[in-house]
Amino acid sequence: MKEPKQLSVSAIQNGTVIDHIPARNLFKVIQILGLDRIDHQITFGTNLESKKLGKKAIIKIADKFFEDDDINRIALVAPDAKLNIIRGYEVVEKKVVEVPDTIVGIAKCMNPKCITNFEPVTTRFRVVSKKNVSLKCHYCEKITNQENLQII
């Protein structure tokens, strides 16, 4: 017989649930969204079982609703993330994240000679491939791809 569904992290009344985050990238997601700097109630769980991801993490932020542009910033580290918008304890909307066309900050240029690596310049990339992420640096035009992607 199937076990009744149990929540490992309590339900919220209103806010956003970000599910299907790869467990190893939970703290990167927290950093990218600036969740360490807001005073909303936040609960999270990590190393939860997931058929798709192996180990997943989930974050629940009470009374917070993100702009799509802000949430898409996590696509580099949590491409399969699912957003659930909660109102009155009900899931009223589900969204997926999409890799944006440009990435400002977040990623490090892999070219050691790039100005962004020795001057206080915010990195900036054009996304040349979204599937196997490939980023072209606005400053040195070198490509940083999935394998050498480092989050700042």
Residues that bind Zn ion (CB under 5 A): 109, 111, 114, 137, 139-140
Out of 55, 64, 82, 124, name the contact with ligand CTP by CB under 6 A.
82
Out of 37, 89, 112, 147, name the contact with ligand CTP by CB under 6 A.
89
How many beta carbons lie within 10 A of that of residue 28, not counting itself? 18
**Interaction partner, residue 114 (ligand CTP, Zn ion, none; CB < 5-8 Å by kind):** Zn ion
- For the CB of residue 57, give the shortest distance to ligand CTP in the complex, in Å: 11
If we measure between CA atoms, which residue out of 28, 57, 20 comes closest to residue 149?
28
Tell me how many residues contact ligand CTP (CB under 6 A): 12
Conformational region of residue 103, where left means phi above 0, alpha means psi within -120 to 50, and beta covers everything else? beta
- Sites for ligand CTP among residues 14-33 (CB under 6 A): 17, 19
**Interaction partner, residue 111 (Zn ion, ligand CTP, none; CB < 5-8 Å by kind):** Zn ion
Cα 58 to its chain centre, rounded Å, is: 11
> Interface with ligand CTP includes 91 (CB under 6 A)?
yes
**Amino acid (one-letter) located at 61:** I
- For the CB of residue 5, give the shortest distance to ligand CTP in the complex, in Å: 7
Q: Cα dist. 58→20, 68, 82, 110, 149 in Å? A: 6, 18, 10, 30, 23
> Interface with ligand CTP includes 92 (CB under 6 A)?
no
Beta carbon nearer to ligand CTP, 53 or 99: 53
How many beta carbons lie within 10 A of that of residue 123, not counting itself? 21
Q: 99 with 73: CB under 8 angstroms?
A: no
Which residues in this chain contact ligand CTP in the complex, by CB under 6 A?
7, 11-12, 17, 19, 58, 60, 82, 84, 86, 89, 91
